[in-house]
Structure 1
């Protein structure tokens, strides 16, 4: 057995870092708005944003592939005006991963904001704080467990992506060949030794992530006197 090629893992972490950072910036104001809005369209919007959870990765991957291809308006715009080819490229993987992992960032943040004491938020508004100031300096510091869950689970979910990543990015070494795709290719050629090693690394990462989430939430509850 030759040494482990860590490039797919590093590429997975790079993809997860980009995806988590971008989704945090997108989902934070949206989760804040959804938690406070009284619009009748809220259930419709929540169902729409949660679709990636229930859609088969092949279905979601197909539509993302179609939307990012050079034949679509979006794909053509990026290619002609920005010189970026979204299909079978790392930027395309980032876009696809953001769409696929979006509810894993949005839902914990929204739930955290909805659990906040309304009187605390009203007091902030009465004190003259704007909506953005209330979000950043009052609401966000008081939903630390939800915030950590959103960030860590989104990162881990992106690292473990396979179906959407394979359809949109393919398997280009150093560009789109992430760890999950590498494992699939090892199994295809019946290289079970390397498949076991790569899978064991992924299991270890996933367990460490979940353990971190539960330990942090338990620690936070103890500080609040819940446990």
Structure 2
């Protein structure tokens, strides 16, 4: 059996887990502490990938990231390569799909932060950026760790969005979920079973880690 799809899934999950805090942390802070018009609309937009059918989200990303889309056209002008049907494309799609799964637990962690800490930081003259890195972030590392690990597990099982944006190119975009689907279609049940059996313990271990983190935070 070819283990390349599992390796590619792990690579995608690791990169998504490492990069997602860059998007999720400012967004969660804005939703947790911000007081502005349109906050509920922004919250709905951020949460939308969680409830939208993956194929619908994947099609929307395919349009935006395609050669005629704004993002896809800009990417091709800068790099000379197409964004869709590439690892970079499925990585961006994975980050969009997983954004609410990182924002929600991180936002909940931020909202539990003692407001007196933020008031003290303001009295001491810390800027909002300094307050975030010196006060907010250190006190929410548990929430950030739980969000990142959850995103890692969720990335391993992505199917609809990845298939729409990346297709099934062996060694480039054929992740484990797509390979399992194709193995079942081809009646290669042994290959599908082996890849599934390799993913289940990893997902189970991730859930145990998240439960331990949440127990410590509680």
TM tier, shorter chain? over 0.9
CA distance in 2, matches of 1:149, 1:73: 33
**Deviations 1:21-77 (Å, cap 9, x if unpaired)?**
222111111211221111131111000110001110110011111111112232122
Residue 20 (structure 1) shift = 2.1
Residue 220 (structure 1) shift = 4.2
CA RMSD of superposed structures (Å):
1.4
1:80-99 equivalent positions in 2, closer than 5 A: 80-99=77-96
- Counterpart for residue 207 of structure 2: 210
**Deviations 1:107-151 (Å, cap 9, x if unpaired)?**
111111111110111112212222122212211222233112111
**Deviations 1:180-206 (Å, cap 9, x if unpaired)?**
111111101111111111111111111
TM-score, length basis structure 1:
0.91
- Counterpart for residue 48 of structure 1: 45
Q: Residue 164 of structure 2: SS of its match in structure 1?
A: helix
List alignment gaps of at least 5 residues for structure 1.
222-227
- Counterpart for residue 196 of structure 1: 193
Q: What is the number of residues matched between the two proteins?
A: 218
1:143-182 equivalent positions in 2, closer than 5 A: 143-182=140-179
1:55-74 equivalent positions in 2, closer than 5 A: 55-74=52-71
- Counterpart for residue 136 of structure 2: 139
- Runs of 4+ aligned residues of structure 1 deviating over 6 Å after TM superposition are none
TM-score, length basis structure 2:
0.95
Change (3 A) 1:161 1:122: same
- Counterpart for residue 35 of structure 2: 38
Q: Residue 99 of structure 2: SS of its match in structure 1?
A: helix
Does the CA contact (< 8 Å) of 2:180 and 2:192 recur in 1? yes
CA distance in 2, matches of 1:115, 1:53: 23
CA distance in 1, matches of 2:217, 2:116: 22
CA distance in 2, matches of 1:37, 1:87: 35
CA distance in 2, matches of 1:37, 1:155: 28
List alignment gaps of at least 5 residues for structure 2.
none
